[in-house]
Structure 1
Amino acid sequence: MPRLCRIAQLVRAQDSYPPFCGRQFKSASRYSSTLIGCFFFAMFTVYVLYSPTFKKIYIGYTSDLSNRLASHNVYSKKGYTTRYRPWDVLYTESYIDKRAALKREKALKSARGRAFIWQVISEKYA
């Protein structure tokens, strides 16, 4: 296995329950990224939004969390997230590649993933 691929594999969060127990990233920069070797990788963030007023959750992924949050809370004119404003960022995970982020988003949208999210909500808003 090439050295760069091995390093990227070690840095990427693993899809498991409990979810990746390493760092949770909250990025405010326009483009969050990681420099590995001499290659530049864009970071993709899987996020969970929570509306405490309506007790609703929203799960998604993006490469720009701050703009995406503004889109959910301010800019969008129609859709699911406009009905249940305001949204708070409850949980985030960062990934190097889009495929891993999509896989994790799908896992969080499963029954087991939603149970984990509601457990986080009960701990945080207890």
Structure 2
Amino acid sequence: MEYFCYIIYSERLDKYYVGHTEDLNTRLKQHNLGISTFTSKADDWILVYSEAFSSREDARSREFEIKKKKSRKYIEWLIAAK
């Protein structure tokens, strides 16, 4: 089974959200339906970046690595380098 670290973007909020999941399509739908607290403030989230991993732990570690940088510039660099 594959797991993913992903970044979504809301133009309305001009914000990025970093997460991990095993089903990108379902998770994106959940974000746009307001199921997640942070992303419930908008319904225009789009997937802008993802990385695949063979384990949930690897995907989670990558998520935390990206979040730890606390850098919008780093996120935008990742997206541009894809």
The TM-score with structure 1 as length reference comes to: 0.56
Aligned to 2:66: 108
> Hey, what's the Cα distance between the residues in 2 that align with 1:95 and 1:89?
17
Aligned to 1:47: 6
Residues 3 and 56 in structure 2, CA contact (< 8 A), matched pair in contact too? yes
Count of residue pairs brought into register by the alignment: 80
Structure 1 vs Structure 2 CA RMSD: 2.0
Aligned to 1:90: 48
Structure number with larger C-alpha Rg: 1
* % identical equivalent positions: 30
- Structure with higher strand content: 2
Find the partner of 1:74 among 17, 33, 54: 33
Unaligned stretches of 5+ residues in structure 2: none
Unaligned stretches of 5+ residues in structure 1: 1-41
Any runs of at least 4 consecutive aligned residues in structure 1 with deviations exceeding 2 A, and if so which? 112-115, 118-121
The TM-score with structure 2 as length reference comes to: 0.83
- Structure with higher helix content: 2
- RCO higher in 1 or 2 (8 Å CA, sep ≥ 6)? 2
